Amino acid sequence: MNITQIKETCLYISDLDRAEAFYAGLLGFPLLSKIEGRHIFFRCGTSVLLCFLPEVTKAETTLPPHFADGKQHLAFEVEQNDYLRTKQKLIQHNIKIIHEQEWRDGLKSAYFEDPFGHILEIVPKGIWEDS
């Protein structure tokens, strides 16, 4: 297998409008699709962030049922020289940094929560590459 990337990732949420306000309004992710009572999708770099209402998708009959609950985790990559600016933008939007982790080579990542309690992270490009 020659997988090139994870193309889409799901979060399961409880309110489409709150997700839109956070992901499009605060984080600036372009809106791709919104179907009331089911989902909202956002462009995230070359990937897509899918936000579903789990009570709808776990009863799915045209696609395989899927759902989750609890604190899910995603990390969003930014250019190394944009890490501090991105972290400051979060803070300016009253998004609390709940943890900052120092990794190898002095690279840091910052954790924060979305309105649904999911643990999100910004990571600088290169954090997973071999040194």
Nearest to 116 by CA among 40, 48, 6: 40
The pTM score is: 0.93
Per-residue tens of pLDDT for the chain, all 131 residues: 988 889 999 999 999 999 999 999 999 999 999 999 999 999 999 999 999 999 999 999 999 999 999 999 999 999 999 999 999 999 999 999 999 999 988 999 999 999 999 999 999 999 988 65
Domain spans in the chain, listed from the N-terminal domain onward? 1-67, 70-131
Task: List the CATH code of the domain at 1-67.
Answer: 3.10.180.10
Strand, coil or helix: 56: helix
Neighbouring residues of 41: CB distance < 8 A, sequence distance ≥ 6: 31, 32, 33, 34, 48, 49, 50, 51
Q: Which CATH class is domain 70-131?
A: alpha beta
* Tokens read off for 2: 């020659």
Do 70-131 and 1-67 fall under one CATH topology? yes
Helices and strands per DSSP (H, E), number in the chain? 3, 8
11: its two tokens: 């979060």
